[in-house]
Chains A and B, each alone.
Chain A
Amino acid sequence: MSIFEIMGPAMIGPSSSHTAGAARIGRMARLLFADKIDRAVVKLHGSFADTAVGHGTDRAIIGGLLGFLPDDERLRSSFELADKQGMEFSLEEVKLREVHPNTAKIELYNEENNKKLEIVASSIGGGRIKVTEINGSPVELTGRMPTLWILHHDRPGEVGIITSILGSYKINIAFMQVYRNRKGDIGSCIIEMDHKPNEYVIKHLENSEDIIQVRYLPRI
């Protein structure tokens, strides 16, 4: 752990969990969506819902969706900036089951490409976050290391192909999670790495036969 986690981070107040973490959740949703966000529906649960306005949780999440970092002073005026950029958004309260008290469910829509993403993410303290659900599938995504989120056809050996490609570029895998809904359906894997993959690695993965989508998520 770096000492800059103690004397830092520089952030917009007032709360590392309710403001900085909230901004990171919004930004993570934006990175996962990787498309123009026409409309966002943000549902706040628990303590996030109870003290959203006082902590700027609502503004921080919308600011994160606009791509702002936790130390960006534009977080304060994110509602107005979202209007300007043509990102529609709504905020509501929700009661989710068995989640951390500081949790948000975010739905993002792109009308042109008829795309939708839904995530559930929690702010787990000190500004750290955890995405626990993507499009209904349980995951564990923290953004503390460079991460790849890959969707692929569920075929024998597919995970091996992915890890071999990474290995051939000397990228060391720190943690890896593999999910699927049904046998033979679409598999999803989340790979946290010690190193940042360059564009060639991503291209190589994207060109692989059974890989549907590759999303690179930098450390946040």
Chain B
Amino acid sequence: MEYATIEELVSLAEAAETSISEIVLQVEVEEEEITEAEIKKSMLANLKVMKDAVAYGRQNNIQTGGGLVGDEALKLGQYLTAAAESEKNNIYNKIITFALATAEVNAGMGKIVAGPTAGASGIVPAVILAIGEENDLNDQSMSEALFTAAGLGYVVSKKATLAGAAGGCQAECGVGAAMAAGAAVELRGGTPRMAADAFAMALKNMLGLVCDPVAGLVEVPCVKRNAFAAAHAYTASTMALAGIRSVIPADEVIMAMTEIGDQMPTCLKETSRGGLAVTPTALKIKEELRD
């Protein structure tokens, strides 16, 4: 059994009347010649790292390499503690808090799970852990959703790229949001087809996103972008669950991403030679950090 496209992944799941996560797991067993139990254990270990990062980032003011970020999740948490019940229980607020927490931990040399990359590592955990908390899901279910996210990202890595230096931020945070959207659909009881639609819708809306980090650091705009992308992923999953289809199929959106990435100028692909990175403030920050 193998898959090279999102369509193949959906077809395999539909034919076997199972979930995308189950197909991804079985292919991994065949390909890597490792037992199912071991693979599940490794993914649970990933989930643990994600939970720890969120917990740490929410409660601590983090010292980062550039010092441009570090207390966003903490601030959000304080704001929500004092806010009305409806604000506290709003899943979007949870999602953005979790995403900021992880992205800050990453910026501060903390431990995270790179997925699809370190710079975009806050998106998938934020969506999955927030849905998990909201619905009292166990680690088993949440870790299954990570297989779905991984399988979707796997197709992108084979067909396109996951590197900001090659495809811009659409390939990092864009794909991260798309992976999270598909995983969220499965976690919320949707079909494999809906997961593919959520993936397509999330990625479509992040096409063209450039990678222009200030002073070359994974801080600005990266940390806050993780929060936006995570909220975005949840939006896509809700639309898909409602039966809203993506007019352009997922695999074609991936093709479009590649084409856009190829045409994107090098100064906007992780070189810090364009965009936000060359604004007066960014150049001043860069100068100050060098001293």
Contact = CB atoms under 8 A, between A and B. Distances in A.
Contacts of A54: 65-66, 215-217, 219, 289
B112 A47 contact: no
B26 to A, nearest CB: 11
A15 to B, nearest CB: 6
B109 A11 contact: no
Interface stretch (A69-77, A107-115, A155-163, A196-204): A69-77
A59 B112 CA distance: 17
B31 A2 contact: yes
Given A2-B32, A15-B118, A16-B118, A47 B109 contact: no
Contacts of A50: 216
Nearest to A14: B218
Contacts of A4: 42, 46, 150
B206 interface: no
A76 B114 contact: no
Interface band, chain B:
35 or more
Nearest to A71: B111
Contact of B118 (A19, A51, A59, A73): A19
A16 B215 CA distance: 17
B71 interface: no
20 contacts: A1-B154, A4-B46, A6-B154, A8-B46, A10-B114, A11-B113, A13-B108, A13-B112, A14-B65, A14-B108, A14-B119, A14-B217, A15-B118, A47-B216, A51-B217, A54-B216, A55-B65, A55-B218, A59-B109, A127-B114
Given A11-B113, A13-B121, 16 more contacts: A3-B153, A5-B157, A6-B157, A7-B146, A8-B115, A10-B49, A13-B105, A13-B107, A13-B118, A14-B107, A16-B117, A51-B216, A54-B65, A54-B66, A73-B110, A76-B109
Interface of B: 24, 28, 31-32, 42-43, 45-46, 49, 64-66, 105-119, 121, 124, 146-147, 149-151, 153-154, 157-158, 162-163, 165, 215-219, 289
